Amino acid sequence: MSGTQSSTDRTPTENADVCIVGAGPAGALVADRLAAAGHEVVVLEAGPRFDPEKREERMENHLRPGDDTPIWGMGGPRDAYTSSGGRYYPLNAARVKGVGGSTLHWQGMVMRLHEQDFRLDSELDVAEDWPIDYADLRPYYAAAEEALAVAGASDNPFAPPRDQPHPLPAFPPSYSDSLFAEACEALEITTHSVPNARNSEPTDGESACVGYGTCRPVCPSGAKYHALRHVDSAQEEGARVIDEVPVQKLEHDGSGERVTAAVYVTPEGETYRQAADEFVLAAGGVETPRLLLLSESEQYPDGLANSSGAVGRYFMDHLFAGVGGRLDERTRQKHVGFNTTESHQFYDREDDSRGAIKLECLNYAGPAPSDIAMDADSFGDDLLEEIRAGYGNHVAMGALVEQFPRAENRITLDRSRTDDHGNPVPEVVWSLDDRTRRTIERANEIQRSVLSEMGADIEWVVGPDSTGPAYHHMGTTRMGTDPESSVVDPDLRTHDLANLSIAGSSVFVTGGAMNPTLTIAALSLKAADAIDARL
């Protein structure tokens, strides 16, 4: 695989048409699309290339008792941050800096946003409408599902309309799904399959899912989609991907209308300027606004592309709500490391009293055998009995819950603390509002009713006071048609600079309650088409 080798030459690319910052799913898809169209593309990635051949070793390290080494190398001065506001935000808990980005460790669930998600202001007089609607993204959603090799049954009665089935067959329901199905039917809750960006059958040299169950943080087989697939494809088309070169700032011309270069640093401490005709920021919902703020100049004292003041603001995430317990029967927990059944019945909002809810039947309830063994003091037969007693009859329901955009939730710079290159670290200012709390409470209410119908002894609840983020960083460079209130236009080009585009979830206007990667992919393909047309 061409994507496994670390860069040896980190000097700039001459005569580049496009410079992309970030080699996660957004950057990889844009690079692949534009390189295939014949453009000279260079991708600058802050983190290293992780060798796919070492996936099993990484999985073993993750499971080995007493090994607290970060699986993907996060932490230290490079990744320093601060958190303020009403809730602490554990930013590094689910970030990856490296070629492949978050797809190296993500869950792999991929859903389309609902039609209502694009028009919350028009329908409910809350938040803002997107400047595009579902129909605009519909063909790009289909293309994204093909690109990510999504497995699904296309059986969701609440989902928006689609023109063709999912590319791969769906994964069958798990055994615990059948236990949930009976209770949900009694409560008139409609369930359906979960689209997953993992191979249900072999494709293009990648194996089918073999059920290790360690999907997060490591898929040892490579069956789950990872952006290296499109990094490799882009390189085969002539793109160049340079790893371990964190971009320090973007420079602009004298008129302030165009970006002229991305300034980056090599591991040896050399500083280079990468020039290009078009620039794309695809560094995620935290590092993208941070880089824009770091790129302040005399002409742009508040940061680049920030004439609206919206860069870094309207930070959103999804919140988790959950209820779990035990049954007096075996549930085969942990036999599947990802969700196969969910319900969107409570997703669309009837009024402005709550946000969207995506209910999930969890296949990874309770502890894994390795977790029990790590906490045990027993050995031999005694340990085996302890594992048997603590494993195998757990059930749980989860939910992703919507958080509406608020200007006070934001990514800004903490100028009192610097990273390993002397730059101010990102500060996450985050809190929950009453509407989000009500939505979590409603999710818990539904979850309790299902587990009670199953006859489970409820042992834990994750509610408004114990909830945490899903690490879906959205909204910090929002899309819109008004330059005074948004950062990018419907083609994801910044209002302030004619040759700077942004790809990723930072452009989301609202977040819904869907895992964002499929929408990231669809928007990235849309942005690539617009850039191709300009070139």
Indicate which residues carry an active-site annotation: 472
* Cβ atoms 177, 338 nearer than 8 A: no
What does the block give as tokens for 498? 């004619």
CA torsion through residues 165, 169, 171, 177, sign: positive
Nearest to 488 by CA among 524, 533, 535: 524
Count of beta carbons in the 10 Å neighbourhood of residue 197: 29
Residue among 490, 473, 491, 472 at smallest CA distance from 481: 490
If one counts every other C-beta atom within 10 angstroms of the C-beta of residue 517, the result is 26
Q: From residue 325, how far is each of 391, 393, 457 by CA, in Å?
A: 12, 8, 5
Which residues, in sequence order, are bridge partners of residue 222? none
Structure tokens given for 509? 């206007």
SS3 217: coil
Token readout for 361 is: 């039947």
* Integer angstrom CA distances of residue 517 from 26, 227, 332, 432: 9, 11, 29, 23
Distance CA 502, CA 494 (A): 7
